[in-house]
Structures are given as structure tokens and as C-alpha cells.
Amino acid sequence: MAAAAECDVIMAAPEGPGEPESEEEARREAESFKEQGNAYYAKKDYNEAYNYYTKAIDTCPNNASYYGNRAATLMMLGRFREALGDAQQSVRLDDSFVRGHLREGKCHLSLGNAMAASRCFQRVLELDHKNTQAQQELKNASTVLEYEKIAEADFEKRDFRKVVFCMDRALEFAPACHRFKILKAECLALLGRYPEAQSVASDILRMDSTNADALYVRGLCLYYEDCIEKAVQFFVQALRMAPDHEKACLACRNAKALKAKKEDGNKAFKEGNYKLAYELYTEALGIDPNNIKTNAKLYCNRGTVNSKLRKLEEAIDDCTNAVKLDETYIKAYLRRAQCYMDTEQYEDAVRDYEKVYQTEKTKEHKQLLKNAQMELKKSKRKDYYKILGVDKNASEDEIKKAYRKRALMHHPDRHSGASAEVQKEEEKKFKEVGEAFTILSDPKKKARYDSGQDLEEDGLNMGDFDANNIFKAFFGGPGGFSFEGRWRCPAAGFGSGKCTDRFTQQQRFPSFVGWWRRACCY
């Protein structure tokens, strides 16, 4: 806006015959104030310009140009509502005052009233159909109306990003429109961009502390940041300013219901009533799907309940939903990682602990990551406990019994009549059973194995040991035995004297005499 060009310079009318001298003096004084105002306006000292235009108006209150000039000054100060009043007064005094209509239109447009602005610009064109400024401003008003229309449709579609875009474009022409700013702030809140939304609402509240829409948006931000109690206070205040404010009423009702359900769920959990806690958290999750942070906490809480109920896969799903809603939610990552550990999904656990440690580099998180990495490393080795079919806390006797059972089950002699493929597989399993027993029956080796150490690095080469020697040492044989050479069937020593068969190594089972008797002397 050009400074000097926006001020109206109208020379004082010549003194009329018989005009009172006091009125002429007042007019000259008012003109002097106006000229001083123009000078300050040209220097962009708008506050001083405003003061002198006000003096001119006080001295001569029926002059349209004085109101027009003060309107221009107020516009430069960003005080569009006051400027609108002066511009309207100027055209009331002189309906043919083109600049008065033009300024009124600009004030309406700046305040977001594009329809009223269009009428003013059309009036200017009626008075001066070649006025290029009015033509351009009329196009600007049409643009604002179009953005309003698009934003309204997109809000209904919940395309909040598009609404923010439209409001940003509209605010380029209507920088003082609180309505546009409030709509933008509400959409920012719905998009989770709370600091931006709060900033817009707070700016409006500094100018107008009773603005119910701004109070509602301020409360909405707190509500979505899980500060529900404070949010309710803002919603209540907004309803005091505007009792029929539907959005504030709905948000207040949701906030109170969510707070109550969450607290009831927490109480049930502390009392150990996990089934009730699960139901309450589930009900709370159905109240408001837009409340991302609170819902993330509810999912994590429900995941904790599921883990207590040993529904670990369901717990993992709940924690996954929590981090989808809030990628910075450390507690949900920790809970999910523990569930992964409990279900032996170590790679997933390591990934979650790495995420946590990258965010918060604490000793505790470092140790959790280290433990998960160790379990992952251990999971990629042979699981000797699984091979023997015993628990990790199995006693020495339980390990011996398990070895006896598995060794007899997989001994090659027992599968001599099977296919070559089956014999090979059983021989492999027999060897693994021997390995498992060798490690788990030795306290030192077992301790190193349990701690995740590499046994081969400790000097134990599992490829060199002989499973048959382990079997022989464990079971023994009648009078001692060797797996080499040829042996007479032990049944011959039981009084029959009839069995003189000899057996190859693949047919012998010297420690299991009963089975041998059935095989060769039945």
C-alpha cells in the first residue's frame, strides 16, 4: 500500500459569503491537522498520523476524507475492525467517495467477509468502471470465496491437510480473519501439529480472550496431548462464552468420558482384575479415534493387560497399534520388546531395543539391548535344551534321563532297516544328542553355553567328539564292549545255546540286551 497515495488531499473550500468566522477557523485547523497527519503517514509514522487525523475528525466531524485517511492509517496498523468503521462512516457522509468504498471493501476482505467486500468493489466500479484496483480486489474476493468453499467440503471429508492449504491461501488475502485462523488451527490439531495449532489459538486469545472458538481449539490441543483435565477447563470456558458451541460441548463430553474410563481401567489393573481392565480400556478406545496420544496409551495399557494374561501375540498387536499412533512412545516399544523376548522373537526384540536406545541412551536401555542381542546370538546356535527336550532349569538327573531316552530313540542300530535317508537323519540326531549331553552335563561348559559364549572359541571342537563313546560311557556293556569287530549274540549266554549268529556293527546294540534277544533269537 503506497503511503502518500492512500491519503486524501482535499483543499479547503473557499469561504462562503456570510459563513461564521468560527466555522472557517475550525475548518482551517482541521485541515492543518490533516496535513500534519499526511506528513507522518508519508514517513510511515502511523501512530502519529492516526493522532492527527483523529484531531481533524474531532474538529470537523463531517468530513469524509478525514475518516478515509484515518481508515487507511488503521489498516496500516493492522486494526482492520476499527478501520472498517471509519471507512463505512466516510461513505455514509459521501456515497460517491470512491476511496472510501475501496477501503471498506479491503477491510471486509482482510476480515474474511468476501461477500461484503465484493459488494463494495462492485460499487467502486459503478462509480469508476475503469478502476483497476477495484477489478483486482474483486478477483481476490472471488478467490477467497472459492477457497472457503473447497475448505468446507474437504473438512467434511476429513482431508485436514487440504483445509490447512486452503486457509493459508485465503489468509494471504484475509490476514485478519479469525474464522480462517481458527479453522486452520483446528485442522492442525486434528493432524497432530499441536504447537502450531496452539500458537494460532493463543495469538487470537491475546487479542480477544473471550473468543469461544479459540478457547475450544486451545482445549482441543490439550485434549489431544493427553492433558485431559486442563482441556476440560478450556471447553467449559468456551461454553460459558458460547453455550451453544456444539464442538466444545462434544469435546467436553468425550474428554470427561475418556478420563473416567481410563481411570477405571487403571484402577482395575492395580487391583489385579485384568479381565475388567481389558474391557474398560477397550471401551475407552471406542470413545474418540481422533485422540491419538491418549489412544496410544490405552493400547499400551491393554497390551500390558494382555501380557499379564499371557496373551503375548495380542499384547504385541496392541503395542504395535500404540507405536503406529505415536512413533515416539518409548513405553510401548519396551513393552513390545519384552513380549518379543518372551515369545523368542529375538530379532524383533533387538530392533525395538535399538530404537529405544537410539532415543534414550540410558544404562538400563543399553543392558536390555545387550541381553536381547545375546539371546539372538544364542538362538542361532544349536538349542541343546530343545535337542534333549528339557527345560533350561532342568536338574542333572533330568538331563541324564532325557539323554537316555533320546539316545536310545535315535541310535543308528534301531533304524538299521530304514531307508538310507532316514538312517542318515537319525545318525545326525544321535550325534546332536551326544553333543547336548556333553555340554549340559558339565557344569562349566553348561555355564559358558548359557551365557552365550562360543564354545569352539573356548577350545571345545564339537566336530571331533564321538557320539558312540558318549553312549558307551553312559550305558556301559556286558563285560565291557567295543563297537569294532564282531560279537556273539548275548542271548547265547542265557542258557539256550542255540544262537550262534554273529552281527555286524550296524546290527549290534550291546547295551540293550532285551531288544537284541527279540531281534535275533525270537
State the pLDDT confidence band at 484, using cuts at 50, 70 and 90. very low
* C-alpha atoms less than 13 angstroms from C-alpha of 148 in its C-beta half-sphere: 16
Write the CB contacts of 290 (distance below 8 Å, at least 6 apart in sequence): 190, 224
Sign for the CA dihedral angle at 67, 72, 111, 142 comes to positive
Per-residue model confidence (pLDDT) at position 4: 38
In contact, 94 and 105? CB cutoff 8 Å: no
Per-residue model confidence (pLDDT) at position 470: 67
Q: Show the domains of the chain with their CATH numbers.
A: 19-147 (1.25.40.10), 285-380 (1.25.40.10), 384-454 (1.10.287.110)
Per-residue model confidence (pLDDT) at position 473: 62
Per-residue model confidence (pLDDT) at position 150: 97
Distance CA(136)–CA(432), nearest Å, equals: 88
In contact, 399 and 390? CB cutoff 8 Å: yes
Per-residue model confidence (pLDDT) at position 290: 84
Neighbours of 428 (CB within 10 A): 12
State the pLDDT confidence band at 102, using cuts at 50, 70 and 90. very high
Q: Is the pLDDT of residue 347 over 80?
A: yes
Distance CA(432)–CA(384), nearest Å, equals: 8
Q: How many residues comprise the chain?
A: 522
Q: Is the pLDDT of residue 488 over 90?
A: no
Q: Is the pLDDT of residue 117 over 90?
A: yes
> What grid cell was written down for 458?
573356548
Average pLDDT across the chain, whole number: 85
Q: What is the pTM of this model?
A: 0.65
Per-residue model confidence (pLDDT) at position 233: 95
* C-alpha atoms less than 13 angstroms from C-alpha of 509 in its C-beta half-sphere: 20
Mean of pLDDT values over 367-386? 88
In contact, 449 and 485? CB cutoff 8 Å: no
Distance CA(214)–CA(172), nearest Å, equals: 20
Instruction: Write out pLDDT tens, residues 252-296.
Output: 999 999 999 999 999 999 999 999 999 999 999 999 988 889 999
> What grid cell was written down for 75?
489498516
Distance CA(163)–CA(180), nearest Å, equals: 10
Q: Is the pLDDT of residue 104 over 80?
A: yes
Q: Is the pLDDT of residue 37 over 70?
A: yes
Mean of pLDDT values over 24-32? 93
Instruction: Please indicate whether residue 516 or residue 193 has the higher confidence score (pLDDT).
Output: 193
Report the 3 state secondary structure along 258-312: HHHHHHHHHHHHHCCCHHHHHHHHHHHHCCCCCCHHHHHHHHHHHHHHHHHCCCH
Per-residue model confidence (pLDDT) at position 456: 59
Q: Is the pLDDT of residue 514 over 50?
A: no
Distance CA(427)–CA(18), nearest Å, equals: 134
